[in-house]
């Protein structure tokens, strides 16, 4: 005899699994540590200052 399955519970479990998978994908795509963000910001700031330091005057 086949095992009885509560359809409501199965639907909720499937939706939870889908949301978990979506959250994991978002964490992999957008999740960065504070140190990583600070390092990237510092590198961008240094590159901007370096480029601004090499600009010529318009006179």
Three-state SS letters, 1-59: CCCCCCHHHHHHHHHHHHHHHHHHHHHHHHCCCHHHHHHHHHHHHHHHHHHHHCCCCCC
pLDDT digits (tens, 9 = 90+) for 8-54: 999 999 999 999 999 999 988 888 888 998 999 999 999 999 999 98
The pLDDT of residue 59 is above 70? no
Give the global pTM: 0.50
pLDDT at 29: 85
User: What residue ranges do the domains of the chain occupy?
Assistant: 7-54
Query: How many residues in total does the chain contain?
Result: 59
């Amino acid at each position: 005899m086949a095992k009885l399955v509560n359809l409501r519970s199965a639907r909720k479990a499937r939706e939870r699994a889908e949301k978990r998978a979506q959250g994991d994908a978002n964490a992999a795509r957008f999740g960065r540590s504070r140190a990583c963000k600070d390092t990237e910001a510092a590198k961008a700031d240094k590159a901007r200052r370096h480029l601004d330091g090499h600009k010529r005057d318009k006179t």
